[in-house]
Chain A
Amino acid sequence: MTDQQNDAYYDKAFSLLYQKSRQEEPSQALDRAVLQQASAQLKKQQSPWLRHIATAAIMILGVSVTLQLVTIEEATKQRDNEAFISEPSILSEDAMTRVTADAPVKVPTEPSNKRLLTIDQPKEVSEAISTVNSAPVLEQDRHLDRLGQYDTVAPVVLPKLENPAPQQRIKNKARKEAKRERKLEFQAANKAAVQKKSSSIKTLDKAILSASPQLSDKKLSVGKTRSISLLPPAQWLEKIKILYRQNKISDAQEELKHFKQIWPDYPLDVLKNSAIESE
C-alpha cells in the first residue's frame, strides 16, 4: 500500500464505487463538433504563414518605395541646387564679395538635365523661331516666356555660404539676370531669323523675276491671285509693271484691279509711266 492509500483521504472501496458510477459520456455530436473544430483550427493555422509572407512582401515593397522616393527627392534637391547655378560673371560684385574667399567654385562634369537653348542647339532654336514667327504678334511674348525656362548658360555650383540668407539672395539675383540674358539672347536670335527670312523672300522674288516670261505667265495663270497676293505691295506692283512692259495689258489690268481691292490706298505712282507707255 502506498502512503496515499494509508492516508485518510483515500478509500479503496469508495474509489471502486466511484469508478463504477462513471457512466456519463459526451454525445457523438459533441465529439464531432470538437474534432471538426480541431481540424479547422489546423487549416486556419496553416494560412497565417502565407499571411506573414504577404505582410512581409508588403512591408518590403513599402520600404523600397519609400527609399526610392527619398532618393528621387534628394536627386531633385540636388538638381534644384544646380539650377541656381549660373556663370560667375552673372553674379554681381556685391554678391561675390559675400562668398567666402576660400570656397571652391565647382563646375559639374555631368551635364544638367535641363535643356540648353544655346547656339549648340540650332535645330531647336530654329524650331522655336519658326513657332514664334508663325504665331500672331501677341502670342510671341508668350512663346518667349515659355522659352525662358531653358537654361542658356553652363551650370556652375555655387559655393556654400556661412549665412544661408545672402546665398539665397545671390541665387535669386543670379537667376533673374540669367533669365533676362536668355530673353535678350533669344530676341536677338529671333530678329536674326526674321531678317534671314525676309532676305530669302527677296531672293525668291528675284528668282521669279529673272525667270522666263513663259514660266512667269504660267505661274501667274495657275495661281495668279494666290501667288501674287502673298507678295508685299511693292513687289506686286513691280510684277504688274513687268506685265505692262511685256504688253500683257489685260493681265496687268486684272492684277491691278485685284491689287486695288486688297490695297485700296496704296500709291500707284510706280505704274504711271508703264500704263501711259502701254496706252
Chain B
Amino acid sequence: MSISSEDSDELLLEQYCQGDVNAFEILYQRYRKSLYIYLCRTCDNQAQADDCYQEVWSRVIKAKTQFKQGSFKAWVFQIARNIKIDLFRKQTLHIVSDSEQVEEAMSTDYPQEQHYSDRECHDRLRLEIAQLPAEQRDALLLKEEAGLTLEQIAKVVSVGRETIKSRLRYALKQLKKVLKDCL
C-alpha cells in the first residue's frame, strides 16, 4: 500500500507499525515543529526541551502499537505533557531559579514607543506566555500550538471542557492586555 503526505496521522502510524519507515518520516515532519515549540515554551530552557523532545518521540516509537483510536495529535501532545510534568517534578529547584530568570526578564524595560518591531513583539509574547500560570499556559499552547479542540485539551489535561474554556479566556485576556501594542 502506497503512502502519501495527505494520509491521516492514524493511517500513517498504522503504516509505520507495519514496517513502513517513510510513513513515520511524514508523521514526524508534520509534528516536529509544533511539538518542539510546545516543549520550548513550557520547559525552562532549550536543553530540557531537547531532552523532552527526544524522549517524546522515543516513547511514540516504542508505544506505537498501544495507540488504538482517537487523535494521534492529542496522543502525542499528551505524551509530551506527561514527560514535561515528570521533568518538572524531578527539577523543582531548577524551576525556582528559572522563575527568577522570568522575573528578571519581566523587569526588562521595553521602550515606551507605540510601535514595536516584530522581533520585539515575538520576544514579548514568549515572555508573557512564560509568565502565565502553568494551567493557563498549557491550555493556551495546546490550543494555539497543537491546534487541539476544547474537548481534546480537556482530555489531555484531564479536566472539564468548561474549565479549559475558562483558562483560555483568562490567558487571552491577560496577553491581550500586555501585548496590546503588538496586536
Contact = CB atoms under 8 A, between A and B. Distances in A.
A203 to B, nearest CB: 92
B172 A9 contact: yes
Contacts, number: 85
Contact of A27 (B50, B122, B145): B50
Main secondary structure on B side of the interface with A: helix
Contacts of A18: 125, 144
Interface stretch (A40-48, A63-71, A234-242, A268-276): A40-48
A45 B19 CA distance: 8
A35 B122 contact: no
B21 A42 contact: yes
A37 B126 CA distance: 31
B36 A24 contact: yes
B179 interface: yes
Contact of A30 (B54, B121, B182, B183): B54
Contacts of B121: 17, 20-21
A37 B58 contact: yes
Main secondary structure on A side of the interface with B: helix
Contacts of B165: 7, 9
Contacts of B19: 42, 45-46
Interface in A113-145: none
A103 interface: no
A277 B33 CA distance: 139
A8 interface: yes
B77 interface: no
A215 B16 CA distance: 105
B90 to A, nearest CB: 21
B61 interface: yes
Contact of B179 (A15, A17, A20): A17
Contacts of B28: 31, 34-35, 38
A38 B16 contact: yes
A33 B53 CA distance: 11
Given A8-B172, A9-B165, A11-B176, A20 B57 contact: no
B118 interface: yes
Interface string B27-67: 01000110011001000000000100110011001100000
Given A20-B118, A22-B33, A26-B36, A41 B62 contact: yes
Contacts of B182: 17
B50 to A, nearest CB: 6
A25 B24 contact: no
A9 B169 CA distance: 4
A14 B172 contact: yes
B132 interface: no
A25 B50 CA distance: 10
A23 interface: yes
B130 interface: no
A15 B32 contact: no
A24 B40 contact: yes
B36 to A, nearest CB: 4
Nearest to B24: A38
A201 to B, nearest CB: 90
Contacts of A250: none
Contacts of B25: 35, 38
B80 interface: no
Most chain B beta-carbon neighbours within 10 Å: one of A7, A8, A20, A24: A24
7 nearest interchain CB pairs? A9-B168, A21-B122, A34-B57, A13-B183, A26-B36, A38-B24, A9-B169
26 contacts: A9-B169, A10-B172, A11-B172, A11-B183, A13-B183, A14-B172, A14-B175, A14-B176, A17-B121, A18-B125, A20-B118, A21-B122, A22-B37, A24-B36, A26-B36, A30-B54, A33-B54, A34-B28, A34-B61, A35-B21, A35-B25, A37-B57, A38-B21, A38-B57, A41-B61, A42-B16
Given A17-B182, A38-B28, 4 more contacts: A9-B143, A14-B183, A39-B21, A46-B19
